[in-house]
Amino acid sequence: MGLILALVFVSKKYSDYNLKKSLSACILYQTNKSSEIMNKEDAFKYCKKEISKSK
């Protein structure tokens, strides 16, 4: 039982970590790709929408 709880805890912890890393990478890419067109706030909104689609 303890092993199952540990696995659930670890999976929740690392899924949040992976989401943050994916979001950061997407924002960085989008702002570098089109620095004149997209600012950080627009890139954040775009990336959050695209990442939530792929879930």
Specify the pLDDT at position 24.
93
Residue 9 pLDDT exceeds 90: no
Specify the pLDDT at position 25.
93
Residue 54 pLDDT exceeds 90: no
Alpha helices in the chain (DSSP H): 2-33, 40-54
pLDDT digits (tens, 9 = 90+) for 18-48: 888 999 999 998 888 865 677 889 889 999 9
pTM over 0.85: no
